[in-house]
A and B are shown apart, each in its own frame.
Chain A
């Protein structure tokens, strides 16, 4: 799998970089460079930007360490346990609640109000992702969300001009694009390994996924049940193959072959599709908002934010670097090197993003996002949600039994959170 290969390369790079980065620590004590941890490709791109920043601010040397995504979470928790967090972490938005629960992050409200950063220009989903109990714990750096990538030619051949915006309309299109009429191929690629599409469907309905101050699951509410039933029906009606993920060897070549017409994925694939699909197909793919129950639907708010750990000894310098990174001009440059979508909306016109209809769709979708429940246990619950969906689709259990099981799972997982909130007298 190509992304695996990329991650593997990054992991190697991460190891190599960490080796290089750690060695000078012992000897250079007096200058105390600003330590920055960032994940993946962005971590590598950040080193170059840090060089420019150092040239303008010789008093603030910056040392960037790139962590591979796959090892980042463990490394961050271990560093917290060892009191060794850096001065800035580029934290995935879903991890912000976790590090907030650890009390590891410095609230930035005061610094933000005195700075040139305008939180009002951030995408709403990103702003809500980093705000917990009124405290802003990070500055959104880049954003992502999931929506539809699709093959225009296949859709046209099936008799549709535009991708549908509602669940029912999309059903009709998928029915035309799946099964016997296309030689047994599927309309949609949606492997079980990713929980994001299912979570996005659940975020589209009126009821919240977790209820009572996020202390228990609300999976048996009618809306959530409908979202689950809809996701399950995509497999049960034969629109999507029952794949876990390891079987999808190369998404790009199978998209090019037309093995599927739709895929729910994120902005990093804008660049990948442009690079990997052959020239003849370049006019034949597009992006579309995620269909919702009653019209273009909500998707989940993702992205990465820059956070300052409480333990940092140079918070002011760290914030100076964050301010620099989040200037619209820098965000636009950053987009050009990494193709990550800027979190600051005013950076978008500085790039070609608003002229391109594919990225324009992302702009619209980003204005229709909602963060998933902001509890440290969330990722675990989301994993269990998709595991439950898989069991339903594979006929191991019924939908209602699975939802009841999810409520019980959430009840157990959130027990400690309930106990702690009771102590504080909240719940």
Chain B
């Protein structure tokens, strides 16, 4: 009885309010994650599905075999390439568009904003299918455009050197709108008198960008960068719809590799290990913060 009483005295209304959310979180997130962690130490596969007696605990065996799998490294490299090239490019485009939208005196702003945001709201799969047609080597208009300019047409989705670029191009187009809105809000918060003061001090437009605009949007920029890179590491639907990982496995991402491993070939132990490696990478990324806290102010 006393222990119950002590317990009752210890819990605050806050605990009670948070309990339902914690319950849902533990049932739908923590428990599956723990299950997957245990599974990543086993060789759960088709044979284990037939008879649990065929299940063996192999501890780090999956991780070791993954590190020895060439396709895993290829997928890892592809994913890093996609995230480290695609995410900065996407942020640059977002920032540029946000600054264009922020120029005073431009009419029809709401229209432009909606138009530029539209790709983000479009269904990913539908947009990817359309892009697949646009990137078609023979009939796609992107190549017709290149030919009209007098350039060599590029086999975007069929050449291993260009396939990832094509997917990056698509993802940047698809995703920049969301970051653009966040950065636009940040830009609008920068007081105009800062720009005026800079202008009075004789700062040119580049200097105003470096010393007023960038520090002004820096907190938002950090958040946007983290979220974008984390999101770009989870590349899956674009190669799944546009290239199925080809050509020559040049667009196999970590998640695509995991999906094929787990749900096509039913090597759930192996696939869980891949998931945890990706998880570790993303956790590591989320610890990346600017050294001084001032940037966030």
Mark interface residues in A387-427 (1 if CB within 8 Å of B CB, else 0): 10011001010000000010000001000110010000000
Bound-state CA distance A262–B290 (Å) is 60
B248 to chain A, nearest CB (A): 5
Decide: A101 and B247 in contact? CB cutoff 8 A.
no
Decide: A193 and B155 in contact? CB cutoff 8 A.
no
Bound-state CA distance A98–B160 (Å) is 33
Number of A residues near B (Cβ < 8 Å) is: 32
On chain B, the residues within 8 Å of A390 by CB distance are 246-248
On chain A, the residues within 8 Å of B65 by CB distance are 412
Bound-state CA distance A396–B92 (Å) is 33
On chain A, the residues within 8 Å of B157 by CB distance are 244, 246-247
Bound-state CA distance A391–B139 (Å) is 26
Closest to A423 in B: B54
Closest to A1 in B: B132
Give chain A interface residues in 374-398, CB to chain B under 8 Å: 376-377, 380, 387, 390-391, 394, 396
Decide: B243 and A246 in contact? CB cutoff 8 A.
yes
Do A243 and B244 contact each other (CB < 8 Å), given the known contacts A73-B264, A101-B46?
A: no
On chain A, the residues within 8 Å of B26 by CB distance are none
A68 to chain B, nearest CB (A): 15
**B137 interfacial contact with A, CB 8 Å:** yes
Decide: A103 and B51 in contact? CB cutoff 8 A.
yes
On chain B, the residues within 8 Å of A80 by CB distance are 49
Give chain B interface residues in 210-257, CB to chain A under 8 Å: 242-244, 246-249
Closest to A417 in B: B47
Bound-state CA distance A363–B243 (Å) is 35
Q: At the interface, is chain B mostly helix, strand, loop or mixed? A: loop
Closest to B51 in A: A103
Decide: A394 and B51 in contact? CB cutoff 8 A.
no
Bound-state CA distance A269–B96 (Å) is 51
Give chain A interface residues in 170-193, CB to chain B under 8 Å: 192-193
Residue B158 contacts which of A103, A244, A376, A417 (CB distance < 8 angstroms)?
Answer: A244
Bound-state CA distance A77–B48 (Å) is 12
Residue A192 contacts which of B139, B247, B266 (CB distance < 8 angstroms)?
Answer: B247
Residue A246 contacts which of B50, B70, B132, B263 (CB distance < 8 angstroms)?
Answer: B132
Give chain A interface residues in 87-101, CB to chain B under 8 Å: 98, 101
Do A420 and B158 contact each other (CB < 8 Å), given the known contacts A244-B243, A391-B248?
A: no
Closest to B49 in A: A81
Decide: B50 and A102 in contact? CB cutoff 8 A.
yes
Closest to B163 in A: A244
Mark interface residues in A335-347 (1 if CB within 8 Å of B CB, else 0): 0000000000000
**A249 interfacial contact with B, CB 8 Å:** yes
Give chain B interface residues in 158-179, CB to chain A under 8 Å: 158, 160
Decide: B265 and A380 in contact? CB cutoff 8 A.
yes
**A133 interfacial contact with B, CB 8 Å:** no
**B138 interfacial contact with A, CB 8 Å:** yes
**A225 interfacial contact with B, CB 8 Å:** no
On chain B, the residues within 8 Å of A63 by CB distance are none
**A242 interfacial contact with B, CB 8 Å:** yes
**A52 interfacial contact with B, CB 8 Å:** no
- Ordered nearest first, which 3 A-B pairs have the shortest CB separation? A102-B50, A244-B247, A244-B246
A-B pairs with beta carbons under 8 Å apart, 25 shown: A77-B49, A81-B49, A98-B46, A101-B47, A101-B50, A102-B46, A103-B50, A103-B51, A104-B50, A244-B243, A244-B246, A246-B132, A246-B157, A246-B243, A246-B246, A247-B137, A247-B138, A247-B155, A249-B139, A376-B46, A387-B248, A390-B246, A391-B248, A416-B54, A420-B47
Residues on B facing A (Cβ under 8 Å): 43, 45-47, 49-51, 54, 65, 69-70, 132, 136-139, 155, 157-158, 160, 242-244, 246-249, 263-266
Residues on A facing B (Cβ under 8 Å): 73-74, 77, 80-81, 98, 101-104, 192-193, 242-247, 249, 376-377, 380, 387, 390-391, 394, 396, 405, 412, 416-417, 420
